[in-house]
Every structure is written in C-alpha cells, then in structure tokens.
Amino acid sequence: MQTLRQSGRALCCALSLAVLWAAGCSSGRIATADAGQDSGALDADAGLSGDRSADGRDGDGPRADGDAQVGDPGADPGQPPDACPPLGPPEPPIVTVSPGQAAELRAIVSQAQAQTTILLEDGLYPMDGGDTQSRLSFEVPDVTLRSASGQPEAVVLDGGYVTGELVSIAASRITIAELTLQRAYYHPIHICGGSGDIDSVRIYRVRVIDPAEQAIKINPSYADTYADRGTVACCTIELTEAGRAQVRNSCYTGGVDAHQAWGWEVRSNTISGFWCPQGLSEHGIHFWNGCRDTLVERNTIVDCARGIGFGLGESGNGEMRAYPDDPYPGVGYIGHYDGVIRNNFIAASSADLFASDYGFDAGISLDQARGSRVLHNTVASSQPPFSSIEWRFDHTAVELGNNLVTHMLRDRGGQAELAGNVQDAAIGCFADLARGDLHLLAGCDAEDAGARLEPGACDEDIDGQLRDARPDVGADERGD
C-alpha cells in the first residue's frame, strides 16, 4: 500500500465609525497580481517530512465546523442528495422582514440580540443607500439572517454597485443562509476579527452574484484579531458578463479570498466566471498570507482564470500570521500552512476566457505552501493552461496524489511528493467539460490507476461514493 502525504479596504468590516478607525480590517491586497508565467520542469520525487492527521490539520488546531454529509454510495454522477439540504425550521426569537422594510434592515440587524433569527420574505431588497444606510453589520454573536422560504434565488439583496459591503461580520457564530447578495461595490460578504478573535461563521446556500471585488473576503482586523473556523458551503458564486464590466483595478476580483485565517472549510460550492479581458483575477478559492489548515473539497469551479490557490507569490503581501506553536520553525515566510485540497472539479472551456490577457492560468497553485495535500482533484481544459497544477518557491513542500489533469503538472520550485497522478488526460474522458461536469466516462486511463492513500485521507469521491481498493484518479470514482 502506497501512502502519500497542499482587499482588504479601509471600508472592510467597519461596523461603526469607531470600529472603522480603531479596529477595522487590515488590508489584504497585493499591489501587483502575480502572473507567474515562466518555464519550469516537473520534479517527480522530492521528499517531504512531517506528521499530520489524515486531513492535513494539526490535532490541537481549530477545525472548520463541517457538516458535510454523504449520500448513497451508488449516486453517481452528481452531488449526494443530502450534501446541501435546506436549513431546518427556525427557532425563536424570530424577526420577519418584508421587502418594503429594506430601508430598515440595517437597523434591524444592528438591534438583533444573540440567538435571533431574521427571516426575509421573498422579494427584491434595494440595498443601494451606501454603507451608512444599507450595510448589514453583525456585531452581536449567534445571529442568523436567512430567507423565510428557503429559496436562495427568491430573496435578493442588491447593492447596485453603490454599497461597498452588503454583509459585514465581526462576531462569532453568524449564519447567512439561503438568499442572494449581488452587485456590491467591494465585497458582498466581508468577515474579520472583532474586538477579539471570532469563529464559526457559516455562509450556507447563498448566491453571491457579480461582486466588483472578491465575493467573500476574510481578513484579520486592524487590531490583529482573526476570523477562524468558518464554513462556506453549498453556495453559488458567479461573475457574469454584466458584472465583469464593473470590475476595476486590473481584475481585482475573485471568489472566496482569505488572509491569515485558520481552520476554514470551503465545500460543495459552484464558482464560475472570475476572469477579465485585461488583468488577472484572483482564484475561485484563495487562502494565503499565512492561512492554515484550510479544507477545500467537493467544489466545482468553471471558467475562472485561476481555480484554487494556497499562498500567492514569494512573500504574499508582506503580512503573515504568527501561530503559537510555530509549526515549521526556521523555514521563513509560509503562504499557507498544511491544509487539504481534495475532490474538486476545475474546468475551463470558454473561448472568451482563453482569448483574455492571461487565459486559464492555473487550476491549482501552491506558492510557499508547506505541508499541504492535494488529493484526487480533476483539472480539465479545452486549451492548454499555463499549469494545470503548479507548485512554486523554495519554502513549498507539498503532496500531490491521484490528481487527474488534461495538461501538465508544473514544478516551479520547492518540493513535491507525487504519486498516482495522471497528466494529458483526453478531453473525451469527461461527461460535460463546458458545464464543469468532470465525471469520468468509461474506458479512460484514470480508471483503477490511482495510488492507495492511508484511510481517512480521501476515502470518498466528489459525490460521497466510496473509493475501492483500486481507486480511480481524479475527483470521481466510477465504481463498477
């Protein structure tokens, strides 16, 4: 058995003018996006040491509040039926709000006490009064904002590209669920540390459409308090053609973007369209500047210039988090500590994307990532990317196991332990590349070609189907 071991703005998270200037979020922006296109050769057998738990997290560190569930092992293709169930009935106290009360919603949120659920009735909520009138600021823990109907598309909060942030969170155990946030001038959702560290924020079954910058931003505060152990699950995050025209600053946008965050889980989301004709978008999912123990699994990323990233550049934006246990002493700058990227579909086939400045840059990129595990992902594109999967810079030490790509793995420095990966897979192996459906068709080289991983590393596929003793390479296990 073979065992394997990878903007902030001054506006952000300001929940009152006092908080804005005293303890707002610190900047998470890198001055120039790292295009990173230079040559490199594949390093097949660089060593990696260090003991970690099966999911790449340290036993004493925080964990994401994951509630992933799996369905019938035979349910292939598609997500397991219960992977993203609607929320259950709300518990009191409950405040019900109608679209006609949109102008009052900011005050309703600010006055909510712990354990309150705010239910939004179906309809369009104009939230274009700017941040002083329309931003929903969550300062009190244990508050939920959700649709009454449980239908995300039926409740729409629209910033009209006037309000910078539609939802700002600086308290623990906030849930935003089953609604749509669209057209924020900066970030539809921004999460950062409050008066102290916060944890267990949950973004669930939310549609985030056409952000002018990153859709979901996670930052430390200016007072160096952190937002840890959160979950982004079962969301649809999309940049459309209309929204793309609103993006500024050389394509300074992206899906989920986190700085110095510990123990987040990002799972079962669909993220699409993050690219620009000029400039290079950030990733569909991006954790960097010293993030740690991130779990990224069962996501579908379609037509984004960059898919999933741990770290960015040789030194990020110059900021990093000091962890009390100093997991890699003496190494120097680390863009991402440990963590797992597994069972993701990353697809690119848009002719407009490939005709843009940077085309499809990378499916998965690992910059100064240390101890990270990249297992059973599928990266497929109709034209060559710069890299299907790449690792880069001297402090990188990662594991790549059983990944399936239509093009190449690219060594750009650092160390990678490789086993069971398949490059140059045929486009015809996949059910529907254009729609991001990368389930395997019969007769592909990936079938039964994977290396066996230790129990617990990646036992199930993207659909929750158990892998057998001869696992298929990539995110999908065809089974018999």
Q: Tens digit of pLDDT for each residue in 285-295?
A: 999 999 999 99
Q: Of residues 386 and 80, which shows the higher confidence score? A: 386
**Which pLDDT does position 285 carry in this prediction?**
99
**Which pLDDT does position 37 carry in this prediction?**
33
Whether the pLDDT of residue 328 is over 60: the answer is yes
- Confidence band of 80 (pLDDT split at 50, 70, 90): low
Average pLDDT over residues 304-328: 94
**Which pLDDT does position 34 carry in this prediction?**
29
Is the pTM higher than 0.85? The answer reads yes
pLDDT above 70 covers a percentage of the chain that reads 83
Average pLDDT over residues 12-31: 35
Residues 9-45 as b or e (16 or more Cβ within 10 Å = b): bebbbbbeeebbeebbbbbbbbeebbebeeeeeebee
Read off the pLDDT of residues 130-174 as tens digits, 9 standing for 90 and up: 999 999 999 999 999 999 999 999 999 999 999 999 999 999 999
Mean pLDDT of the chain: 87
Whether the pLDDT of residue 369 is over 80: the answer is yes
Q: Of residues 364 and 32, which shows the higher confidence score? A: 364
Label residue 117 left, alpha or beta by phi (over 0 means left) and psi (-120 to 50 means alpha): beta
- CA distances (Å), origin 53, targets 60, 344, 372: 11, 20, 12
SS3 28: coil
Average pLDDT over residues 23-50: 31
Q: Cα(24)–Cα(289) distance, rounded to whole angstroms? A: 18
**Which pLDDT does position 81 carry in this prediction?**
60
Whether the pLDDT of residue 234 is over 50: the answer is yes
| CB 25, CB 8: distance < 8 Å | yes
- Confidence band of 61 (pLDDT split at 50, 70, 90): very low
Whether the pLDDT of residue 7 is over 50: the answer is no
Transcribe 84-153 into DSSP letters.
SPPP----SSEEEE-GGGGGGHHHHHHHPPTT-EEEEPSEEEE--S-HHHH-EEE-SSS-EEEESSS-GG
Whether the pLDDT of residue 19 is over 50: the answer is no
Label residue 434 left, alpha or beta by phi (over 0 means left) and psi (-120 to 50 means alpha): alpha
Reference 212, options 184, 240, 231; nearest CA is: 184
Reference 297, options 233, 341, 236, 347; nearest CA is: 341
List, in sequence order, the alpha helices (H) in 186-344: 241-244
For 220, residues 6+ apart whose C-beta sits below 8 A from its C-beta are: 25, 26, 192, 193, 226, 227, 259, 260, 321
Reference 118, options 67, 74, 79, 157; nearest CA is: 157
Please state whether the peptide bond connecting residue 89 to the residue before it is cis, i.e. omega within 30 degrees of 0: no
Q: Which of 46-50, 144-148, 169-173, 445-449 has the lowest mean pLDDT?
A: 46-50
Reference 462, options 373, 381, 342; nearest CA is: 342
Structural domains in the chain, sorted by start: 17-440 (2.160.20)
